[in-house]
Chain A
Amino acid sequence: MTAHFPPIDTDPHPAFPVYSAGNFGEVAPDRISPVSWSLVGTPMERATRRLAARCFGERPWVQGSHYVFLGYFACKPYHNLSAYTRLAGRLPLVAPEDVTAAYFEGTRPPRPGRAREGALRQAAALPRLIRELTRLGPALRRLEEEIADLELLARTAVSLGGEAALVEVLTRAAPVLDDAWDAHIVATTGLVPLGVVQRRVNGLVVPHAEAVTPWLNRPAELVWERLHAFSGDLAPGGFLGTSFYEVAEDRAPWSRFSARRRAEPAPAGPDAGPLVDPAEAALGMLGPGRRRLAAALARVMAETMASREHSKSLVMRVLHVHRRVLPELVRHWPLGDADWPYLTIEELRRLHRAPGLAGRAADRAAACAEAVDEPMPGRLDFSGGSGGGARRGRAAAPAAGSGVSPGRVTGVVVRPPADDIPGDRTAILVCESADADVAPLLGLVGGVVTGRGSAMSHIAILAREHRVPAVVGHPGAAALRPGDMITIDGTTGEVHAEPTFTG
């Protein structure tokens, strides 16, 4: 039984009772401030609803005043697993397990309801989703330009410090943020059915498909490397040294959950890879027809994964604009510098016209101070006896690790901040989850093990990009000590301590 925090918590959805921190838990801080929630959760909810409407038409279950796809309890962001399960059940071929395997660390999905979508509507959803995916590339390029403009405007506004210009930045940022989340949701959702189709097709045409597919899906280029070239405040890569999803990261209590250090670009490691990479070799082993099919599917998957990372970086850039603009702006208002993280972005945008909104901050600050100390489980289930704010929390079942980037490697455990990566021996990075400061280390290590994560996690995609074997979601990751010698298998997900034997 956990306390309820009415001034900040969202109401649990009456029909979809199971929530999971899943994908949030890997990248976002454990608790985020109300303003960050309004920049992350609320637009994500809107974007998912819009996508559902575009794929299935206006359906009653994705409408209404409750949050359907997301939830915010005791300052911890959650995805509504039941709602995603239902969404998955409405796409042809896709099973709820495919969603949980891709984004929710393979947890057991809740039982889907009896309500089914009509066969015709279900079949029509796939081409509609594909249409959305084809529009992704142009949308991202347009957003890239708009966000560059926004960053320029914000830079000017911050340096001049005028209220009008700063409000203008907030106003212009609103549609851009919505569009960026839209793109992110389309890419994230699209990867699930694409992955299912690819798994089925590759199972028929590619020998050893399970081991080969992650190689095939390696994106040609990810956006992160490019962003490292831009450093400095409000430059496109300015957010890389900050905390993902938290815009009030240097204010208590949020700073407790978002310890970050400066991220540096990965230096060019020794080129260990052969000239022909395994993906090229795998395609070469197929006959011409099969090769074309497998290569086309892999291309689509890789592009969509790259688009997903790209959209995520765009969202982070808009968040970073807010991170810089909001503290400057509140100086003009009758609002304490410590209070703005407790207002939502909608309230902050209207504050210059309705100064009374500032009074809401005090209540919420008190509730948040209490809420952040409340232990919150990775999985919430409101299905039983949900009267009067009662809630039952169950920890996610400890799933075994899953291999997401193939290859086997033996090395010494290092933990971030890994300042002591041994130069002469292979190092294996062990961390709880992926965040911005792990990425630059991937060029220096021979393998990755994380405690959190799924097949489509940030860290999984990065590891494949760097051709580094990776195991995510391994329950024993926390027990590994720096200096231990371990062997990891990025195909099977095995991690074991290295015994030595002699003759």
Chain B
Amino acid sequence: MKILVVGASGYLGGAVCARLEWAGHEVIGLGRSGGGPARRALRGDATRPSLALAGDALDEVRAEVTHIVTAFGSVDWDAGPAEALDLHAAGVRNVLALARGCERFTGLVHVSSLLALGRASGRAGNRELYVGQTFRNWYEYGKYAAEGLVRAARDVPSTNVRFGPLLGVPVSPGTLSARHGLLAAVRPLLQGYPVHLRGGGEFPCYPGEVTGAAEVVARAVEAPATGGTWTWFDPDGPTLADVLRALCRPLGRVPRIVDSTAAGRLQRALASRAGVPPALLGYCEPWFDLDPAVLDAVPGGPPRCPAGYLEATGREVFA
């Protein structure tokens, strides 16, 4: 079993490489800035055809790779449409084209995102991708388009793995950015600004711990690819307010979370001045209604998250 991890120098990609090598698999890490922690590393680019591989490297991948894991693309909620589509959709197209050319190919593990569900109407499970949703930003749309492409490619055996926001101490230092995703909300909270969240933020935000996510990816690699979709998040189900409080705790701060429409309006008007990325404001309302039974689809049961991983993330990134 030889596994190509695309995006190996990233946050999740690094954890996936480490987990797969620990299990004794042969791993090729591919990334723009090298291959991350994998022992065998290639420089490449998911947005280019053949992932910008050429010569011996391309021949090796085509002849020997049995599995591909897509873990590329930063979680940038402020990205424009061109960036989102050229990265997520075009990247997946390139990976699919490469997979079709691999002689011993047996399975693609596509790391999707729960956010591909956008503002879903009604209860969503593993089967649903298009549920009449609108999207909050181009990242969500890019992940939606990418997962749609993987599902539509019937000739490439695949498993979709969906995660919510991933937190936890990174395997390779510096790969977790405080500027993007949920963590971008933390700095204004640390500065003591009141933040409006509907219902005081007591709604689920489906976080997960990064090594747990890598564990799920590894199981998807080891299981036969049947075109299924798995979803994994912290089975304890912390709410958004829980997550934000836990992230601030090691810094001795208690976030001022309020539920006030007026504060919400003010927040929208002043967001850019307070250093809050505008895209973050879309997540102040309850996200979507996910069927809790989706966790049962992960073979062997959903991995537990280590205690205190949220606090550890806060300490790692903001201390």
Residues of A within 8 A of B (CB): 207-208, 211-212, 215, 271-272, 274-276, 278, 281-282, 284-285, 406-411, 426, 485, 487, 489, 491, 498, 500-503
Contact = CB atoms under 8 A, between A and B. Distances in A.
A contact face: mostly helix, strand, loop, or mixed: loop
A410 B81 contact: no
B54 A500 contact: yes
Interface of B: 30, 34-35, 41-44, 47-50, 52-58, 80-82, 85-86, 89-90, 93, 118-119, 130, 133-138, 141, 144-145, 148-149, 152, 278
Contact of B130 (A275, A278, A487): A275
Contact of B135 (A285, A406, A407, A500): A285
Contact of B54 (A278, A284, A407, A501): A501
Contact of A274 (B43, B50, B58, B149): B149
Given A208-B82, A503-B53, 5 more contacts: A212-B81, A275-B148, A276-B133, A278-B85, A489-B82
Contacts of B58: 502
Given A408-B90, A503-B35, A503-B57, A274 B42 contact: no
Most buried by B among A282, A285, A501: A285
Contact of B141 (A207, A211, A278): A278
Contacts of A410: 48-49
A272 B89 CA distance: 10
B124 to A, nearest CB: 15
Given A278-B81, A408-B90, A284 B135 contact: yes
Contact of A502 (B55, B93, B130): B55
Nearest to A500: B54
Given A274-B148, A274-B149, A281-B135, A408 B82 contact: yes
A503 B42 contact: yes
Given A208-B80, A274-B149, A503 B136 contact: no
B81 A208 contact: yes
A91 B34 CA distance: 56
Nearest to A411: B49
Contacts of A207: 80, 278
A230 B136 CA distance: 44
21 contacts: A208-B81, A215-B81, A274-B149, A275-B130, A276-B133, A276-B141, A281-B144, A282-B81, A284-B118, A284-B133, A285-B134, A285-B135, A285-B136, A285-B138, A407-B85, A408-B82, A408-B85, A500-B50, A501-B44, A502-B55, A503-B41
B149 A502 contact: no
B137 to A, nearest CB: 7
B42 A406 contact: no
Nearest to A487: B48
A285 B79 CA distance: 13
Nearest to B53: A502
Contacts, number: 94
Given A276-B144, A284-B134, A408-B90, A498 B48 contact: yes
A407 to B, nearest CB: 7
Contacts of B134: 281, 284-285
A491 B82 contact: yes
Contact of A407 (B47, B86, B118): B86
Nearest to B152: A271
Nearest to A285: B135
A62 B57 CA distance: 67
Nearest 8 pairs of A and B residues by beta carbon: A284-B134, A503-B42, A500-B54, A503-B43, A208-B80, A274-B148, A408-B86, A281-B141
B127 to A, nearest CB: 14
Contacts of A285: 134-138
B54 A211 contact: no
A394 to B, nearest CB: 35
Contact of A208 (B30, B50, B138, B144): B138
Contact of B44 (A276, A409, A503): A503
Contacts of B135: 276, 281, 284-285
Nearest to B146: A274
Contacts of A491: 82
Given A284-B135, A407-B85, A500-B52, A211 B43 contact: no
Nearest to B57: A502
B82 A211 contact: yes
Contacts of B56: 502
A500 B93 CA distance: 18
A274 B136 CA distance: 17
B42 A502 contact: yes
A215 B44 CA distance: 30
A19 B258 CA distance: 65
Contacts of A271: 152
B20 to A, nearest CB: 18
Contacts of B48: 410, 487, 498, 500
A487 B35 CA distance: 24
A487 B86 CA distance: 12
A279 to B, nearest CB: 10
A423 to B, nearest CB: 13
B136 to A, nearest CB: 6
B54 A502 contact: yes
A502 B42 CA distance: 7
Nearest to A407: B85
A144 B212 CA distance: 64
Contacts of B44: 501-503
Contacts of A500: 48, 50, 52-54
Contacts of B42: 502-503
A211 B144 contact: no
A428 to B, nearest CB: 12
A487 B278 CA distance: 31
A212 B118 CA distance: 19
Contacts of A281: 134-135, 138, 141, 144
